[in-house]
Structure 1
Amino acid sequence: MNSPRTTLYRDKHNGKVMGVCAGVADYTGVNVFWVRLVALALAFSMGWPIFAYFIAGFILNKKPPYLYRDESEQKYWQGVRQSPRRTAREIKASFRDIDRRLAAVEAHYVSSNPRLTAEIERLR
C-alpha cells in the first residue's frame, strides 16, 4: 500500500494551526472536533503532546488539494486505512454479487436463444 491516499498528511485547508489534527481526522475518518478535543485534553494533562504536534506539523507533508474525487472516494480510502481486510472482503463480496448477476443474465439469454444453446452444446 504505497498509494498517496494511504499516507498521513497535515490538512492545512481544514486545519486551525498547522493542520495536524485535521490530517489525523482525515486519515482515521473520525470527526475533527473529537481529534482536537483529545489533543487538547492530552496537551493539558501531559504537556508533551504540544511538542509532538509541532514536530508532526513540520515532518508531515501537506495534503494534496485533489487527493479524492468526491466524498464517497474519501470514505472508501478511510475504510481501507481503518481495516484493509474488511474492505477486501467487501470488494470480493461485491464482485461475487456481480458475477452471480452476470451468470443469471447469461443463463436467461442462452435459455431464450435455442440457436446459441445448440452452438454451445456443439462446442462442448
Structure 2
Amino acid sequence: WTVKDTVQAKDNITSVRLLRKEVLQDVSDAESCYLIRALLKFYLNTVFKNYLDEAADVRIRRSFSTLANNFFVIASKLQPSQEDEMFSISESARRRFLLFQRAFKQLDIQAAQTKAFGEVDILLTWME
C-alpha cells in the first residue's frame, strides 16, 4: 500500500472534496504563486503539524516527514510580489484558498486532516 492508499482508506467522507475545481481550476500563473503558498502553509501549520501521531499509527511517518519537509522548502522559496498591481491577483487567490479552508472547517477536525492529507496527490498534480 502506498501512503495515499493508506490515508484514503481512512477517509470515510467520500462526498466531500476540499481541493475541488472551484479552488484549482483556471488559476493564472501569477495567481498560482499566491495560492500554492497559502495551501502549502496551511498544510504545514494545520495538517502536517496535527497529523503526525496518526501518521505514526499507520506506519507512514517517514514518508509523511519527507513530504512535510518538501512542502516547507517549496513554501519558503515562493515569495509573491508585493507590487500594487498584484493586489487583485492575490485577492482572487485568497478567495480560492478561503473556499478550501471553509470546506476543511466544516468537517470534524480528525476527518478534515485525514481528507486533506488524502488529497495531497491532487495538490501535487495540480502544482505540476
| TM-score when normalising by structure 2 | 0.30
Point out which structure has higher relative CO (alpha carbons under 8 A, 6+ apart).
Answer: 2
Normalized per residue, the structure richer in helix is 2
Which has the higher Rg, Structure 1 or Structure 2? Answer: 1
TM-score by length of 1: 0.31
